[in-house]
Amino acid sequence: MDAREVLARVRDARGLTAEQADWFARGLASGEVTDAQAGAFAMAIRLNGLDAPGRVALTRAMRDSGQVLHWDLPGPVVDKHSTGGLGDSVSLLLAPALAACGCYVPMISGRGLGHTGGTLDKLESIPGYRTDLTVDELQKLVRETRCIITGASADIAPADRRLYAIRDVTASVESIDLITASILSKKLAAGLEALVLDVKVGSGAFMKTMDQARALAQSLVSTAQGAGCMTTALITDMNQPLGCSAGNALEVLEAMETLTGTAVNQALWDLTAALGGEALALAGLAADADEGAQKIDDALETGRAAEIFGEMVAALGGPLDFVERFPDRLPAAPVMREVRAAGTGFVAAVDAEALGMAVVRLGGGRLKNGDRINPSVGLSELVMIGERVSPDLPLAMVHAATEAEADRASAAVRAAYTLADTEPDEPDLIYERIG
The reply to whether 186 belongs to the active site is yes
Q: What is the pLDDT of residue 49?
A: 95
Give the structural domain span for 28. 3-63
* Residue 167, pLDDT score: 86
Residues 91 and 238 in one domain: yes
User: Which residue among 55, 60, 81, 399 is the active-site one?
Assistant: 81
Domain match, 381 and 411 both: yes
Tell whether 269 and 401 lie within a shared domain.
Answer: no
Does some domain include residue 427? no
Catalytic, out of 161, 186, 214, 337? 186
Same domain? For 302 and 182 the reply is yes
As for how many domains the chain has, the answer is 3
Residues 242 and 305 in one domain: yes
Domain at 28, CATH number = 1.20.970.10
81 is catalytic: yes
Active-site residue, selected from the candidate residues 146, 167, 295, 329:
167
Q: Give 85-138 pLDDT, tens digit per residue.
A: 999 999 999 999 999 999 999 999 888 777 887 899 999 999 999 999 999 999
Q: What is the pLDDT of residue 260?
A: 97
Q: For residue 20, is it within any domain?
A: yes
Q: Annotated catalytic residue: which of 119, 185, 203, 219?
A: 119
Residues lower than pLDDT 50 in the chain: none
175 is catalytic: no
140 catalytic residue (yes or no):
no
| Residues 50, 183 within the same domain | no
Instruction: Say whether both 115 and 261 belong to one domain.
Output: yes
Residue 433 within any structural domain of the chain: no
82 counts as catalytic: yes
Same domain, 225 and 349: no
CATH of the domain at 110: 3.40.1030.10
Q: Please say which residue of 290, 325, 360 terminates a domain.
A: 325
Displacement of CA 260 from its chain's centroid (Å): 22
pLDDT given at position 411: 97
Asked about 200 being catalytic, the answer comes back as no
In a domain, 287, yes or no: yes
Q: Are residues 187 and 321 in the same domain?
A: yes
Does 399 map to a domain?
A: yes
Q: Which of 63, 80, 115, 295 is catalytic?
A: 80
**pLDDT value for 369:** 66
Q: What is the pLDDT of residues 138-195, one digit of tens each?
A: 999 999 999 999 998 888 999 998 998 888 778 887 799 999 999 999 999 999 999 9
The answer to the question of residue 429 being in a domain is no
Determine if the pTM surpasses 0.75: yes
The verdict on 100 and 230 lying in the same domain is: yes
Which entry of 60, 63, 162, 187 is annotated as an active-site residue?
187
Shared-domain flag, residues 16 and 115 = no
Q: What is the pLDDT of residue 2?
A: 86
